[in-house]
Amino acid sequence: MKKCLFIFLMICPLIGFAQMKAELVPVRDTTELKVGDRVPNFIFRDTSNQKVSLKQFRGKYVVIDVWASWCYPCKQEFPILRKLAERYKGKKIAFVSLSCDTEEQRWRNELWWGKMEGFQWWIGGDESSMIAFRVGAIPRLILLDKKGRIVDLKLPKPSNPRFEKILEELKGM
């Protein structure tokens, strides 16, 4: 009985602290998205530190490549994705590389070292898009339709022949 009382007295203050701390953290919409859902207006940062969103691509399909500077498989796929972006240039499709790095400088260093071009965006410390897209592992490729709705939350990697086949089957590109 004394042991139970001791544990109770030790845990109660911790629970109270956890509840108090949780109240200080801003609540974000972390609704998980599924195929057919319209993507919320997430705000990201581009290489000029400007706020950007996927809305600018309405009328185009969008391939989102979620990656990070420390992810070797991500960096292996980027040259293939870059070639595909060149091949589809002028079509109604955009390729966005979205870094989920927690530190901006690591992202910027990788852009410089990897000579990464195109739409290079950073989540800017806001992980709500990663939660909504259910990103549990990277690289992760996501396909949106021309209206900003999710077509596929887990595209195969660009090195997989199925990836380009999926792109070729998109209507009105």
Q: pLDDT value at position 11? A: 41
The structure's pTM equals 0.80
- The pLDDT of residue 173: 81
DSSP 32: P
134 to each of 55, 61, 74, 165, how far by Cα in Å?
20, 20, 17, 24
pLDDT in tens, 20-46: 333 333 334 557 899 999 999 999 999
Q: 79-84: which pairs have CB atoms within 8 A and are 24 or more residues apart?
A: 80/158, 80/159, 81/158, 82/116, 82/117, 82/118, 84/158, 84/163, 84/164, 84/167
Given pLDDT bands bounded at 50, 70 and 90, which one contains residue 90?
Answer: very high
The pLDDT confidence band at residue 162, using thresholds 50, 70 and 90, is very high
